Structure 1
Amino acid sequence: MAPWTKVVLVWILFHIGIAGNEKVDQHAKLALNQEMPGDKQVSWSGLKLKINTHLEQLWQTDWDTEVNNKLHEIRPNLNERIISVERLNRKQGTVVSRLFQPFMDH
């Protein structure tokens, strides 16, 4: 990839019924209507860092406002990893995600 690549965000309606994905879809729709300055250049790594940081903040806010969230007592800060998912391959990461899913639903 070139150091400066034009990125176009497009909202796609495939996340219906998945709460987290629906929230991302809402934000993507809002972004489509915002005017972007044409002369501002951002590196891919810088953009990725900003997006990840923003999404982590949104997730933490949701996490803090969940009612009846027993796992919140164990892990109040989502940035503190219980399991280092960075060291897991995709299959292992999927298994860990599915193990935590019942706690995340309610």
Structure 2
Amino acid sequence: MAPRTKVVLIWLPSHVGIPGNETVDELAKLALNQEMPGHKQVIWSDLKLKVNRHLILLWQTDWDTEVNNKLYAIRPNLKKRLVSVESLNRKQETVVSRLGIGH
């Protein structure tokens, strides 16, 4: 996304015919014509950092269900690089990890 890309969120109606949702839909329609208080611009690099952190958290949560996986035994925390191979580049680290799991 370019640094000055404009992101617009659009409300889409759903759950038509459900009384509580009809009320919420009407209130949402009224809000469409109101000015947003405290409109702030978000710098893409800040947003990207937050999205990446959230994705890593989701990945780690999913990864924690794979406790019987050989690779999980070697690297249970995805954020931490393998201590014994910190000086290696990505390709070398991959080779060491594959040797460790017998792949």
- Superposition TM-score, scaled by structure 2 size: 0.46
Higher helix fraction (1 or 2): 1
- Superposition TM-score, scaled by structure 1 size: 0.45
Bigger Rg over Cα = 2
